[in-house]
Amino acid sequence: MMSDSVRNSTYSPEKFEKKLYQYWLKGDWFCADETDTSKPNYTILIPPPNVTNRLHMGHGLNMTIQDILVRWKRMQGFNACWLPGLDHAGIATQMMVEKDLNATGVTRQELGREAFFARCVEWKEQYGNIILDQLKQLGTSFDWKRETYTMNEQLSKAVRKIFVDLYRDGLIYRGERLVNWDPVLKTAISDDEVENKEQNGKLWYYKFPVVGSMTDEHLVVATTRPETSFGDVCVAVHPEDTRYQHLIGKDLYHPLAEREIPVIADTYVKQEFGTGCVKITPAHDFNDFEVGKRHNFKMINIFNEDASLNELCPTQYQGMSRLEARKAVIKFLREHNYLVKEENHKNTLPISERSKEVVEPRLSYQWFLKMSEIVEPAIEAAKTDELKFYPQTWKKTYLHWLENIQDWCISRQLWWGHRIPMWECQDCQTYSTGEQDPSTCENCGSTDLVQDSDVLDTWFSSWLWPFSPFGWPEQTQALQAFFPSNVIVTGAEIIYLWVARMIIASYYTMGKLAFKDVYMNAIVCDKQGRKFSKTLGNGIDPIEMIDKYGADAVRFTCVSLAPLGGRVRMNKDDFEVGHRFINKIWNAAKYLLHYLDEQEPLEKLDHARLDPASKWLLNSYVNTCTAVNNHLEKYQINEAVDTLYHFVWGAFCDWGLESAKIVLTETSHPDRAQVKSTLLYVFEGILRLFSPVIPFVTEELWHTIPRHPDWSFGTEQTLMVMDYPTYNPQWVFTQDAQEWSQIQSLISGIRSVRTQANVPPKEKLCAIVALEDTGLTAVLQKGEAWIRSLAGINDLKYQPGLSRPAQSLLTTGKGWTVYVPVGDYLDVESECKRLQGEKKRIAGIVMGLQKKLQNKQFMERAPEQVITTTQAQYDNMSGQLKTVEQNLAALSEK
């Protein structure tokens, strides 16, 4: 390690971050050992990034949180395993590879399935690791030896195994469902590939005569898509709609399809929209599909693959396109007096991203998983709080979804992914499956088998993530050690898609809860509160920020801005804050080293010889240790970081180092050795406490500073596995700390007085302390050297009961008043104004407190402790009020 990097230079993270990461890798400190049973295990699974991903700020935050938890637990002595890996991302990858391919003038279909698949594999090899490399720049302590991937051999085996198990348990079935069909590309496309465009359309109203009516009775139905009418199976009205009660169950004549259809009742219908009557076309509309299924109607598909009308329509319409058919249908309705009216209507059209053609919902066969039969333990776990959400509010969302769970459509019409392990027998049309490819039909023994052409939904591999990477279905040692994991850290948007399903899968295969804690990280937004997105281009590139400010600054900024859950608004400038703070730590180290480099050996800390400033610092340090650990236990990472930030800057630097200066600069000072020892002891503690958050700079500094006799160091040469600091009663000095804070407020008070009077900083002043409680004399005398140095005082006197000397300003604290004669610097007018303001403010508080104390009900019902503190406040504030009044009077006399 190059310790001179600290002594002689400014903070430049680029000089050591890469070097240190290599050092950690070489030392194998990120690796967890499943055979080591001497330590408790701690496991976190990465939410596997898509192979198509580049690192964005959402990852930055998400990964930093996980890394902090893992590094913290590792320092606490856990066998910590953070599992890295990638998701093959079926749709996203296929889209990118296809786009690439199309640019060369070749379609996926022309290339053929096998060659296209090979191209995807190649693409993954080439680009898939970019995000993992970027994660290394962020300093993530993944156990890289376990790096995995949802399409590798081992995980594919796991996918195959669970599919077969589920099928054998009767939980996987084939059923009909509507998909988004692109009539130009003649393929199903995913929701991601559909853009909804609002446009001005029309709403056509036309008549359906009631069959057998003597009075020409009819219903009027409104539709935006009259051309689909040939597929109508019924007309629906709301069951409570008084207008149509008598018609429910009657038949209507369909003037276009030239057949009769019934009137049914369904709550799906909105009475106030249109006429309150809806024609139901289950094969061509997502909502109608649900209604049709509920009422057991036949689905009539009236389109060919290219969305032209097929043989189920009357001959004159067959072969027409959707638009041609629409014109022809309207012409017919108008000519035969069925059309009642047409009106303008705004609606949204689903457009295929790639062909720009209007998407047509199309009936197709899909594979489904019966979720209701395997979901129960996942519901129980949340209800009993065995599974906990951070923040808790997500429990409701989770339960709401699980309690209304739908069957999961697990097939996708893609080429990139795990091929569905189902073979259709060409002789008897039944399906066969197996962990090995079947050679004969399970039903009739035929060898004429054809594998299903679809692949599995990408989530069908990622739901196995808690156990598949550790070797499942083999009962490996790693699986024993690292399943279940401890916490999952992810975005709330995939609570259904991923989190809930992992829990379901783990109960199904392992019979156990996959993880006890679910941490929902904040959503990263821009300054206007918009989610970072590619299309908006409002994202902040973490790598750009790392290059500019260093990984530690990026990590620090991300987590300190992000509360548990919620969302965080980010700005490029925010990273400057992190960088400045780390620079502050760097400079503090530089200053310390200046004195630590001296030859004399470091002393152990000695209670009897610690000065008041050191006792205060140690006491604050111990409190900080407790607070940080408590916050981390509760996943309040921003709170932990905030606590540390203020301890380092406000306590250690502004008071600790500043107070130490008067001792350190005097080479023969008797307290010097203990002060140096205290500073180093606390600084080592800071480095340890902060190491999980900002691992690089803490490690770099740790290698530079000397080892302290009061800290224990293992044999490992890295900060990242040193013991994490905890509450240490040895360094608790409650009384001394309280006394020292009196000195601090006295110093601050005098500084404030100096500013009020515009006294130049270098000018020394006299200060006269008037004590109400003479017991404080000893306390203040102990702090005299610091009062002189830090407040710019050259003459400090004690005069109990003194009233205000001429031309002086004052500052008050608990039991004391300090008068500072400022001579001609005193501006009587502005001082009077200030005192009057003070008087008003304090009088208000005093009055409030008095009212409270006179309130009978308050005295009767409030807890005794509250009454005591209120009384004490009252005494204190009225004392202050008296002082202010006296001084105001004294000032006015002149």
Question: Which is closer to RNA, CB of 343 or CB of 435?
Answer: 343
Task: Please select the residue that binds RNA; options are 199, 734, 794, 869, rule is CB under 7 A.
Answer: 869
Under rule CB under 7 A, residue 393 binds RNA: yes
Q: Establish if 278 lies at the interface with RNA (CB under 7 A).
A: yes
Neighbouring residues of 145: CB distance < 8 A, sequence distance ≥ 6: 31
DSSP string, 585-651: HHHHHHHHHHHHTSSSPPPPP-GGG--HHHHHHHHHHHHHHHHHHHHHHTT-HHHHHHHHHHIIIII
- Reference 120, options 455, 513, 505, 443; nearest CA is 455
**Does residue number 10 form part of the binding site for RNA (CB under 7 A)?**
yes
* Piece in contact with RNA (CB under 7 A), picked from 17-25, 143-151, 246-254, 572-580: 572-580
Residues 172-201 touching RNA, rule: CB under 7 A, are: 196
Nearer to RNA, 562 or 722 (CB): 562
Cα–Cα distance, 702 to 683 (Å, whole number) = 9
569 near RNA (CB under 7 A): yes
Residue keyed to tokens 């299924």: 293
| Residue 202 touching RNA (CB under 7 A) | no
Q: How far is the CB of 777 from RNA (least distance, A)?
A: 23
Q: Does residue 873 touch RNA according to CB under 7 A?
A: yes
Q: How far is CA 215 from the centre of its chain?
A: 65
Write down the least CB distance from residue 422 to RNA, Å.
26
Member of 199, 480, 752, 794 binding RNA (CB under 7 A): 752
DSSP H helices in 658-733: 658-664, 672-690, 695-704
Considering only residues 398-457, where is the footprint of RNA by CB under 7 A?
Answer: 400
State which residue, 429 or 869, has the beta carbon closest to RNA: 869
Contact flag: residue 591 with RNA (CB under 7 A): yes
Contacts of residues 222-227 at CB distance under 8 Å and 24 or more positions apart, as own/partner, are 222/273, 222/274, 222/275, 222/277, 222/278, 223/279, 224/345, 224/347, 225/281, 225/284, 225/285, 225/326, 226/256, 226/326, 226/329, 226/330, 226/333, 227/309, 227/322, 227/323, 227/325, 227/326, 227/329
CB 586 within 8 A of CB 560: no
Q: How far is the CB of 882 from RNA (least distance, A)?
A: 13
Choose, by CB under 7 A, the member of 23, 144, 253, 268 that binds RNA.
268
286 binds RNA (CB under 7 A): yes
Q: Binding residue for RNA (CB under 7 A) from 185, 194, 203, 543?
A: 203
Using the rule CB under 7 A, is 748 a contact of RNA? Answer: yes
Choose between 760 and 801: whose C-beta lies nearer to RNA. Answer: 760
Question: How far lies 348's CA from each of 24, 199, 200, 345, 461, in Å?
Answer: 54, 6, 9, 10, 34
SS (H, E, C) 631-645: HHHCCCHHHHHHHHH
Do 514 and 503 contact (CB within 8 A), yes or no? yes
Map the footprint of RNA across residues 209-228, applying CB under 7 A.
222-225
Contacts of 54 (CB under 8 A, 6+ apart): 130, 131, 134
Alpha helices in 757-817 (DSSP H): 776-782, 784-791
Q: What are phi and psi of 81, to 5 degrees?
A: -120, 115
How buried is residue 429: exposed, middle or buried, by Cβ count under 10 Å (0-12/13-18/19+)?
exposed
**Contact window for RNA (CB under 7 A) among 431-439, 713-721, 795-803, 871-879:** 871-879
Q: Judged by CB under 7 A, which of 341, 840, 861, 882 binds RNA?
A: 861
Query: Using the rule CB under 7 A, is 580 a contact of RNA?
Result: yes
Closer residue to RNA in complex, CB, 200/315: 200
Using the structure block, give the residue that is written with the tokens 């940080």: 628
Single out the residue of 880, 881, 883, 884 in contact with RNA (rule: CB under 7 A). Answer: 880
Closest contact distance (angstroms) between CB of 633 and RNA is 12
Piece in contact with RNA (CB under 7 A), picked from 166-174, 418-426, 771-779, 857-865: 857-865
Candidate ranges 293-301, 407-415, 672-680, 861-869; the one touching RNA (CB under 7 A): 861-869
Is 20 a residue that touches RNA (CB under 7 A)? no
What is the rounded distance in angstroms from the CA atom of residue 77 to the CA atom of residue 722?
Answer: 9
528-547 positions binding RNA, by CB under 7 A: 529-531
451, 423 Cβ separation under 8 angstroms: yes
Query: Which is closer to RNA, CB of 158 or CB of 627?
Result: 627
- Is residue 251 within the footprint of RNA (CB under 7 A)? no
Applying CB under 7 A, among 37, 109, 199, 348 the residue interacting with RNA is: 348
The Cα 752–Cα 759 span in angstroms is 10
State yes or no: residue 396 binds RNA (CB under 7 A).
yes
Binding to RNA, residues 809-848 (CB under 7 A): 845, 848
Asked if residue 568 binds RNA (CB under 7 A), the reply is: yes
d(CA 765, CA 230): 98
Q: How many residues bind RNA (CB under 7 A)?
A: 86
Q: Greatest CA separation found in the chain? A: 119
Residue from the set 165, 217, 324, 658 that interacts with RNA by CB under 7 A: 658
Contact window for RNA (CB under 7 A) among 251-259, 275-283, 324-332, 482-490: 275-283
Rounded to whole angstroms, the Cα distance separating 602 from 596 reads 8
Under rule CB under 7 A, residue 3 binds RNA:
no
Window 662 to 691, contacts with RNA (CB under 7 A): 665
CB atoms within 10 A of CB 422: 22
Out of 188, 378, 596, 657, name the contact with RNA by CB under 7 A: 657
Q: How far is the CB of 837 from RNA (least distance, A)?
A: 8
